[in-house]
Structure formats: C-alpha cells, structure tokens
Structure 1
Amino acid sequence: MTRRSLILMAAGGSLALLLGAWAFQHIGGLAPCKLCIWQRWPHGAAVLIGGAGLFVGGAVLPLLGALAAAATAGVGVYHTGVEREWWEGPTSCSSGSIEGLTPEQLMDQIMGAPLVQCDQVAWEMLGLSMASWNAVLSVAFVTLWLAAAVKSRA
C-alpha cells in the first residue's frame, strides 16, 4: 500500500466519522455532549493534516495525523469510561452524585446542567456506544498513519 493511500484511508476515516457524527446530530436529532465535541476536534485536525500530507512529503505530517487520531481515541476511551461509570466525567456534563447537597445546591446543579449528559449513552451498536466506536476506529487510524510515516522514510 502506498503512503498516499494510507493517508487517504486514515484522513478519510476521520472525515467519515465526522460526517457520521454530524448526521446523527442534524438528521437523527442526537445532540452531542461536551465530550462528543471534544472527540470531533482531533478528527478535524486529522482531515486537514491528511490534505496537506497528500502534497507534502516526509514523516512529520503522518506522525501528526497519528497524534490526532490517538488524541480522539483517548477522549473516546475516557468518554466510554464515563458512560460505563468506571470514573466520573467533567462535572459540567455528568449527572454526578447529589449526596450531601442542600436543596438550593441541588437546584443550582439542575439549572446549570447541560441538556445532554456525557454519562448517558445516546446510541449504541453491538454493545458499543458512539464514543467506544470512535476509540476503536481511531486506534485503527493511528495504525494507518504510522504505516504512512514508515512509508515516508522508505
């Protein structure tokens, strides 16, 4: 496989995940949570890096693409852990505990909560949430980017 085709597959995969996320949001009506948005930014960077990598040689851009894919995979794993209650998410997007709160504090928490909670799974397939699928697929993209970097040095 050529460096160019590896870059096209990795960047194209990120673009496909972004388009899928936007389709779920704008066509399917599933509003993204804060962590969902965080997962989108590295995919956008990977698409831009991929575009540049088609015209600029060397291993630097594929390595940056691998870093972007690894970043979104990391956020996807973190988000999966929040969804599965392995750890707490950001207080600004998780329901969290209400133990020990006064009625006023509870009301403040309710009124300040975003509409979409990060610890709620909005959609899943084969037992994996969108965040989990993002993590799995992004790890595959890391592999493609690294293979492109190796091809750059050959």
Structure 2
Amino acid sequence: MTIAEITANPRLVFALLLGASAAILAAAFASQYIAGLEPCVLCLYQRVPYGAVIALSGLGLGLSGLAPPPKGVIVSLAGLCAVAFLVNAGIATFHVGVEQHWWQGSEACGAVGTMARTIEELRAQILAAPVVRCDEVPWSLFAISMAGYNVFASLGLFVASAIAARGMWRAGGDRADA
C-alpha cells in the first residue's frame, strides 16, 4: 500500500491513530500499575492528548463509516489529531528539559494533588502520598527517559496524522471507500 492509498482511507487512518494512542497509553499504565513507576504531574499531562486522540479517532471511525461521510469533518478530525500530537510533543520536550535540568518545572512538579474535604483528610493524604518529582528519571533505556521516547513518538504521530489529513483533503476530504 502506498501512502496515498492509506491516506485516502479514513477508516484505516483513524484505526491506526487510535491503536497507536491506545498502545502508548497502555504502556504508560503498565509502567505505573505493573512496574510500579509512579508518574509525575508532567507524565500525567502527557497522557491527556493520547486520550483526546482516542476520542477523536473513535469519532472519525464512526463518521467515516457513514455513506457519505460528512464532508470536511473527517479531515478536521485528522488535523485535530495532528495538533494533539504536536501539543504532546511540546509537553514531553518540556519534561525532558526539566529532567535534564535545562530549566525548572512548573509549581505542580513535585506537588501532591488532593481531593480532601477536611483538614484532617488533607493532612493524611499529604503524609501518605509519595512525592514524584518531575526532574528525576525513574527509568531510561539507552540514556533516554520515557518522556524522551514520548517526544519521538508524538513527533512521529504528528507527522503521520498531518500527512494523513493532507492526503484525505487531496483525496476529496472524506472518502471512506476501500
């Protein structure tokens, strides 16, 4: 299959974007709940765009199955996916900079988020919760942290979804055949 054939098939594009985002989120949750690597606040922020892409891609899959799919909406959804990946690349790049001590993290880095209703509950949560700092690298492979790999993944998915949006636009914007 050529790139033109792939991008002319919105169902395939959205299925691939949804699958990639779900796989990356699954890896993040596995590292947290199976490997025991607690995420910092920047790690949590980096999950949000993947969730947004899953929702946008699910909508794109549903709409591209209509006959005919809504003109322009399919291209817009692919473009929004590209924007989400680009935003995530920015968040991940900021996180890498914090990890490398190129700049300081936000005030939320190292803070404990709570939903306490009383002072006693707040105190108990603060004393019980581990503080996960954004400037510490809990895991790396080949001297690249998870945030570093996320930069690469997000930029790659940005390029792929931008190419797909452009290809769908050139193919008529909303072809769902193939």
Q: TM-score, normalised by structure 2?
A: 0.72
Moved more, 114-123 or 79-88: 114-123
1:2-30 superposed Cα distances (whole Å, 9 cap, x missing partner): 33323222222111111000000000111
Whichever residue aligns with residue 63 of structure 1, its letter is G
Q: Using the alignment, how far apart are the partners of 1:151 and 1:7 within structure 2?
A: 13
> Root-mean-square deviation (CA), in Å?
1.9
Whichever residue aligns with residue 44 of structure 1, its letter is G
Structure 1 regions of 5+ residues with no counterpart? 96-110
Structure 1 position 149 matched with structure 2 position 156: no
- Note if contact 2:110-2:131 (Cα within 8 Å) is conserved in structure 1: no
Q: Using the alignment, how far apart are the partners of 2:150 and 2:61 within structure 1?
A: 24
Q: Using the alignment, how far apart are the partners of 1:56 and 1:127 within structure 2?
A: 42
| Aligned with residue 33 of structure 2, among 22, 26, 33 | 26
- Note if contact 2:40-2:110 (Cα within 8 Å) is conserved in structure 1: no
Map 1:65-80 → 2, pairs under 5 A? 65-80=81-96
1:63-103 superposed Cα distances (whole Å, 9 cap, x missing partner): 010111111111000000000011110133259xxxxxxxx
The count of residues paired between Structure 1 and Structure 2 equals: 138
Aligned to 1:3: 10
Map 1:1-154 → 2, pairs under 5 A? 1=6, 2-57=9-64, 58-93=74-109, 115-153=131-169, 154=171
Structure 1 or 2, whichever has the larger Rg, is: 2
- Note if contact 1:83-1:119 (Cα within 8 Å) is conserved in structure 2: yes
Q: Using the alignment, how far apart are the partners of 1:56 and 1:13 within structure 2?
A: 20
Q: Using the alignment, how far apart are the partners of 1:90 and 1:115 within structure 2?
A: 14
